[in-house]
Structure 1
Amino acid sequence: MQKKWLKWLLLTVMLIVGISINGNGVHADDSLQKVKDKGVLTVATSPDYPPFEFQVNQHGHSKDVGMDIELSKQIARDLGVKLQIKNMDFNSLLVAIQTGKADMAIGGINPSPERKQNADFSQIYYYGGESFLINKADTEKLKNQSALKGLKVGTQTGSMQQSLAKKNLKGTKVVTMDKNTDLILALKTHKVDAVGVETPVAQAYVQNDPDLKMLKANYHLNKQDTGSAVALPKGATTLQTAVNQSIDKAKAQHLIPQYLKTAGKYMKVNTADTSMMHYWKYFFNGLKYTLLISVCAVAGGIILGILLVLMRLSNFKWLSWPAVSYVEVVRGTPMMVQVLLVYFGLGVLVNIPALPAGMIAVTLNSAAYVSEIIRGGINSVAKGQKEAAKSLGLSKTDALRFIVLPQAFKNIWPALGNEFISVIKESSIVSIIGVTDLVYELNVVRADTYRGVAPIVVVMAIYFIITFTLTRLLNYMERRMKHD
């Protein structure tokens, strides 16, 4: 009987696989048609890589510019659709096209064999070569690539520069960071001795920062793997063909050099005034989103936290066990992973924009901690209070509502206040998916102005003012509660 059951199961699985394979063979790729039907080409990029892509301050508003942005505009024009730019961390670009968040990704992406396993690529549209950035004071000491042996070289996480450095710089320690702006700051503060970047990027920094110098890399490079290409979803052959046609057109009309010149003009605009006051609207915009996310997360966290506590205190295991499991999973995993899971993981089923996804992730995270705070508050209420409520004829629900919870909230107010303050600071993690909070705007200003420390000081001051003011307000309310 068991063998017969297994036989039917095997046949069913084979039938489903056969239908899937046959379906894939019959239906042609419709990636290009989907873009045309939407009327929008969604492009994922990481705008911290001048001159490829960066942002310029125009009348207090940020605008995505650079060679790659100009090429994206050309591709959208050739397709007859509008262009939509989605900003996020470089590490998330390929994930964005795999999960349907974007139709293509651009950002000085090199089509390495490893990346080709998870994405398709256009033809190479630009090859700039590889270089190192070093401090000008180290010019005599670091005259060539061989002089880097035994020193620290910084590269962006997941980049071609990271792979090339590990492969070619024997005896050198490779240090990786997510942002090029962080790498430059590490270089200028002597945390690393050199930073590996593409030559146009090195030239951009040298032209705008007199303390930096460029050192040519002597890698043996395969141009097909190390040039820049557009990343596309696997199997998107019709869209790939259309993108290649646009690149052919750009090459034939010599548009790529023009795109670079345009990027250079924008870079001069950015460096004309690098004062933090010039970028006050950036910081104000980031502050608005930080406070919005924090308030929504705390409010939603309290509501969901109370629900989780009620489930956990229930006599029904089918309610208590899910609540316990949820709290343990959330508390046992980093918030960054949770943010990525909500944005990209759930994005496979539902296309959630970055801001709502960030709010949901922070809310779900806060709810787990709030539920434990509330549970501790309930347990802190004297057992005699519950017995007195019972003797008065109050039901368990009424006793919890009118007797236990009011006292519990009074006891846990300081802990809830600390959770609110923690959410304000920890919500900065949503910047990895392109939410324009304070940390996101911090990185934009650093990339635009080539100033590493000043924007950090400004954002630190803003966070301190928020948390200091909130702490004083919470302390005042706590004293009022004790007085009452």
Structure 2
Amino acid sequence: MKKLRVFILGIASILSLFFYFTTSAQAQTDDSLQEVLDSGALTIGTSADNPPKEYIRMNGGQEEIVGFDIDVAQRIAEELDVDLEITNMKFDGLIPSVQEGEFDMALAGFNPTPEREEVVSFSDSYHDLPFVILTTRDKEDSYTSIESLAGQEVAAQKGSTQETILNDYIEEARPVALGKLPEVISEINAGTADAGVVGYLSARNYLDNYPNLTVADIDIEVSEEETAQTIAFPKESQALIAEVNQIIAEMQENGEMDELLEKNIEETQAGDTDSQNTLEVYGPLFLRGTATTIGVAFVCVIVGTLLGVFVAMLRLSSNKFINTIAFFYIQVLRGTPALLQVFIFYFGLSSILTIPAIHVWDINLARLIPGCIALAINSSAYVAEIIRSGINAVDSGQMEAGYSLGLNRRITMKEIILPQATRNILPALGNEFVSMIKETSLLSVIAVSELMFVADTVKAATYRTMESLFIAAIIYFMITWLVSWLVSLLEKRLEKSAKV
């Protein structure tokens, strides 16, 4: 026992020294600016659901991320004489991604709160954004002060400054935190949330497209620091931050910042969406999202099935130790949320391995690969139990019959047991494929452009929430129906061959 304690203390000391020297080296050497210049590209993250600051616009059948923040980032890239590479993802995933060093910086209307400053650094303010309370017209007269919101459900975007203001200044309200700004607007418009805290610029656009909404006559008295919009950077990027601050100061001094803001307010598509056919304009985007969903589901089910067969064999092993390992493997994966596993594999692999940022169909493989691994491993636990139950359903006398014919366990399992078990478990495996098609939507949290991510993007750009979701629902139904039909055909074929 004493030796074990000494060993553990020794390992802890080594790890402490490692992290100390690693951190010291990073603090002493700040190559953030030089690395951007050497790479020839400035990588940024954003959440393109907040016009006119950042949103998706279709141009010749191709999506492009545009808006005020994007124009600011483009000017910074031009001043640095590098290309601009943009990644669109959910807002609440941006700060963790910046913290992990996945982007050189992120623009999405960040306010430098003390909690955020503990994990990332921020530029100087490039824009001030006042906040307003949105509500429906029939409730406008009821909400005239902060106190009048007491006991009411007030929505805000999760992880945003609006959520902080909601919690700090409207304490008596019942907060509702939602992942995307369009979800906040939809909740208010539907009446499921009584009101919402929204940035003034975004409110202007949504008021043009939701006649039922209005701005409540409530003043939110916050400090200038709380309305400041800044750019987020990895903690040890002081050289890059200093250069960006200089560019921001020049743009503010010569009036270019105000010009970009006015330009984007005028160009925002708000008001033009009534004349658009969502499927016609955004059809290529939905098509790409559908292909990604099918491809990811197919790969994950194939890999998950192969791994599941292996785990099932371990689970059926007569060796108690091996059996126990397989048991805990299955229980851990089935007992924790798949979304949590996606995050663990994504951030865990990113910190251990450097996956090249190769883009296929505009999808970053550095995001797609960890996500697929997480879903495949999650699927393997369910497939293992499906296979185990299928094998156990085969009469035990079949194994004994194989032995009596002189066959060993491996050949008996391969030639006699598994073919029968396959027929038993095919419907369940088909259901697993159907479930996987729907579970691919979890990858939207790490910016993989599958079908649900596309639907969220389109509803933010068009303000047509139900239409975008309805299109996605129809596509999901068509895919799952086709898979179910193909599985039933295969099942009938296997039944016929078994009778022969």
Same fold (TM over 0.5): yes
Give the corresponding residue for 1:274.
Answer: 276
Report if the CA contact (8 A) 2:132-2:220 is conserved: no
The alpha-carbon deviation at position 419 of structure 1 amounts to 0.6
Query: What pairs with 1:321-400 in structure 2 (closer than 5 Å)?
Result: 321-352=324-355, 353-400=366-413
| Identical-pair percentage | 34
Report if the CA contact (8 A) 1:327-1:369 is conserved: yes
SS in 2 for 1:140: helix
Residue 38 of structure 2 aligns with an amino acid whose one-letter code is D
1:109-157 Cα shifts (integer Å, max 9, x gaps): 1111111111111111111211122223433333454432332111111
Give the corresponding residue for 2:361.
Answer: none
Report if the CA contact (8 A) 2:143-2:217 is conserved: no
> Partners of 2:25 and 2:108 in 1: how far apart?
34
The 1:136–1:236 alpha-carbon spacing in structure 2 relative to 1, beyond 3 Å, is same
The question of 1:286 aligning with 2:289 is answered yes
1:300-319 Cα shifts (integer Å, max 9, x gaps): 11111112122333345564
Residue 278 of structure 2 aligns with an amino acid whose one-letter code is M
Residue 260 of structure 2 aligns with an amino acid whose one-letter code is Y
The 1:71–1:18 alpha-carbon spacing in structure 2 relative to 1, beyond 3 Å, is closer
> Partners of 2:20 and 2:485 in 1: how far apart?
66
SS in 2 for 1:453: helix
The worse-fitting range, judged by mean Cα deviation, of 149-158 and 314-323 is 314-323
Report if the CA contact (8 A) 1:66-1:262 is conserved: no
The 1:79–1:193 alpha-carbon spacing in structure 2 relative to 1, beyond 3 Å, is same
The worse-fitting range, judged by mean Cα deviation, of 213-222 and 68-77 is 213-222
Query: What pairs with 1:96-175 in structure 2 (closer than 5 Å)?
Result: 96-175=97-176
SS in 1 for 2:236: coil
* TM-score, normalization by structure 2: 0.90
Give the corresponding residue for 2:420.
Answer: 407
Unaligned ranges ≥5, structure 1? none
The alpha-carbon deviation at position 82 of structure 1 amounts to 1.2
> Partners of 2:23 and 2:66 in 1: how far apart?
42
Give the corresponding residue for 2:180.
Answer: 179
The alpha-carbon deviation at position 400 of structure 1 amounts to 0.9
> Partners of 1:309 and 1:2 in 2: how far apart?
39
Residue 127 of structure 2 aligns with an amino acid whose one-letter code is Y
> Partners of 1:391 and 1:7 in 2: how far apart?
53
SS in 2 for 1:197: strand
The 1:442–1:20 alpha-carbon spacing in structure 2 relative to 1, beyond 3 Å, is closer
The alpha-carbon deviation at position 272 of structure 1 amounts to 5.8
Give the corresponding residue for 1:470.
Answer: 483
The 1:208–1:256 alpha-carbon spacing in structure 2 relative to 1, beyond 3 Å, is farther
> Partners of 1:450 and 1:92 in 2: how far apart?
23
> Partners of 1:319 and 1:155 in 2: how far apart?
49
Give the corresponding residue for 1:434.
Answer: 447
Give the corresponding residue for 1:455.
Answer: 468
The alpha-carbon deviation at position 222 of structure 1 amounts to 2.1
SS in 1 for 2:235: coil
Residue 114 of structure 1 aligns with an amino acid whose one-letter code is E
* TM-score, normalization by structure 1: 0.93
The worse-fitting range, judged by mean Cα deviation, of 388-397 and 268-277 is 268-277
The alpha-carbon deviation at position 37 of structure 1 amounts to 2.0
> Partners of 1:50 and 1:231 in 2: how far apart?
19
Report if the CA contact (8 A) 2:47-2:88 is conserved: yes
> Partners of 2:473 and 2:13 in 1: how far apart?
62
Give the corresponding residue for 1:443.
Answer: 456
The question of 1:311 aligning with 2:311 is answered no
SS in 2 for 1:228: strand
1:180-202 Cα shifts (integer Å, max 9, x gaps): 11111111111011111111111
The 1:317–1:31 alpha-carbon spacing in structure 2 relative to 1, beyond 3 Å, is farther
Give the corresponding residue for 1:482.
Answer: 495
Report if the CA contact (8 A) 1:32-1:238 is conserved: yes
* CA root-mean-square deviation: 2.5
Give the corresponding residue for 2:362.
Answer: none
> Partners of 1:145 and 1:217 in 2: how far apart?
7
SS in 2 for 1:230: strand
Give the corresponding residue for 1:244.
Answer: 245
The alpha-carbon deviation at position 403 of structure 1 amounts to 0.8
Residue 233 of structure 2 aligns with an amino acid whose one-letter code is L
How many residues matched?
Answer: 483
The alpha-carbon deviation at position 346 of structure 1 amounts to 1.1
Give the corresponding residue for 1:222.
Answer: 223
The question of 1:419 aligning with 2:432 is answered yes
The alpha-carbon deviation at position 19 of structure 1 amounts to 4.5
The alpha-carbon deviation at position 60 of structure 1 amounts to 2.2
The 1:468–1:7 alpha-carbon spacing in structure 2 relative to 1, beyond 3 Å, is closer
The worse-fitting range, judged by mean Cα deviation, of 217-226 and 406-415 is 217-226
> Partners of 2:458 and 2:13 in 1: how far apart?
59
The worse-fitting range, judged by mean Cα deviation, of 219-228 and 61-70 is 219-228
The question of 1:301 aligning with 2:304 is answered yes
The alpha-carbon deviation at position 220 of structure 1 amounts to 2.7
> Partners of 1:218 and 1:8 in 2: how far apart?
56
1:2-39 Cα shifts (integer Å, max 9, x gaps): 699699949867865775566456x3211212222222
Give the corresponding residue for 1:36.
Answer: 37
Residue 275 of structure 2 aligns with an amino acid whose one-letter code is D
The alpha-carbon deviation at position 425 of structure 1 amounts to 1.0
The alpha-carbon deviation at position 326 of structure 1 amounts to 2.1
The alpha-carbon deviation at position 216 of structure 1 amounts to 5.5
The alpha-carbon deviation at position 215 of structure 1 amounts to 3.0
> Partners of 2:178 and 2:397 in 1: how far apart?
56
Report if the CA contact (8 A) 1:184-1:452 is conserved: no
Report if the CA contact (8 A) 1:39-1:82 is conserved: yes
The worse-fitting range, judged by mean Cα deviation, of 251-260 and 139-148 is 139-148
Report if the CA contact (8 A) 2:143-2:218 is conserved: no
Report if the CA contact (8 A) 1:153-1:174 is conserved: yes
> Partners of 1:229 and 1:72 in 2: how far apart?
12
> Partners of 1:126 and 1:272 in 2: how far apart?
30
